[in-house]
A = this chain, B = another copy of it.
């Protein structure tokens, strides 16, 4: 048994040595870019998110972490709802709890349009109302009605519960709304799930949305992507791929291969996808996830716009409506939906 392990280890080392050599980057300082807005500069300057090093030891530990994160973010929503004039109510669709977000005024072009939001949080954070931040931004800045899906999550409900819930909601809403007037969007895990939902809907012969906006999508749960390494310790939101984030991936995947296309849509098929707009930042740990998805879409002949913000770490465009880059990011997405959705 011991001998066998040694052979495996040596083979691993030999394989690594035979592959291309990595680039050794010396220690360096990266100043806050003064061409970002002052509000974004304040986000860029924040210390590294300590979460990346805080891997819970058990289910109870995960639940405490989830509860703390939810309580912290929930405080930011009432102000955002007021400033953006968005009202929120709970609804249940196909047995799945959801939130319906309605802007105070819906322009005529958006009267018959509906967006579906899938929240982020590494498949474990942001249950219930703590998930709706990005949906408030989209409803308020884009003046769309939005349904946000409160899908089930681990530790109680691992793979594939989250996608089963998203799929059930999609299956229900396309019976009541014209999919030509609908788009799906979400950031990080929500971006990955947006891609998975299209692949699954296509496989199940359901109608597809008219457009999608996966923001910095977690399209690959395995340790793959240039900026996972290049932007480690520079992205102050995710910080590193091999700590908390990897633990969250494994908590959700429950022993399944992280490259299974039902977990990592980058390994699935992008043929027939609707027009897509992607969002990322120059410091984003998932910039590679984002651009790899763009390349797959282009290879499939799909329109795939990309917007990348200077100095921005993972998902920072959806933190605060008072950041000009947030207004611009959702403004671009709203314009993209306007060009591609029916009325």
Which residues in A have some Cβ–Cβ distance to B below 8 Å?
19-35, 41-42, 44-45, 224-227, 229-234, 236, 282-283, 287-288, 290-292, 294-295, 298-299, 305-311, 328, 332
Min distance, Cβ A216 to any Cβ of chain B, angstroms: 13
A27 pairs with B24, CB closer than 8 A: yes
A21 pairs with B32, CB closer than 8 A: yes
Min distance, Cβ A179 to any Cβ of chain B, angstroms: 25
Chain A binding surface, main DSSP class: mixed
A30 touches which one: B23, B27, B282, B291 (CB < 8 A)?
A: B23
Residues of chain B within 8 A (CB-CB) of A230 are: 30, 230-231, 234, 282-283
A295 touches which one: B226, B295, B306, B310 (CB < 8 A)?
A: B310
A288 touches which one: B33, B224, B229 (CB < 8 A)?
A: B33
B23 pairs with A226, CB closer than 8 A: no
A31 pairs with B229, CB closer than 8 A: yes
B22 pairs with A32, CB closer than 8 A: yes
Residues of chain B within 8 A (CB-CB) of A20 are: 31-32, 41-42, 44-45
Min distance, Cβ A181 to any Cβ of chain B, angstroms: 23
Task: Give CA–CA (A209, B300) in the complex, Å.
Answer: 29
Residues of chain B within 8 A (CB-CB) of A32 are: 19-23
Given known A-B contacts A30-B23, A33-B225, A308 and B291 have beta carbons under 8 A apart: yes
Task: Give CA–CA (A284, B149) in the complex, Å.
Answer: 37
Residues of chain B within 8 A (CB-CB) of A24 are: 27-29
Min distance, Cβ A256 to any Cβ of chain B, angstroms: 20
In the complex, residue of chain B having the shortest beta-carbon distance to the beta carbon of A308: B291
Residues of chain B within 8 A (CB-CB) of A291 are: 282, 308-310
Task: Give CA–CA (A32, B18) in the complex, Å.
Answer: 12
B305 pairs with A288, CB closer than 8 A: no
Residues of chain B within 8 A (CB-CB) of A332 are: 298
Residues of chain B within 8 A (CB-CB) of A21 are: 32, 45
A30 pairs with B226, CB closer than 8 A: yes
A29 pairs with B35, CB closer than 8 A: no
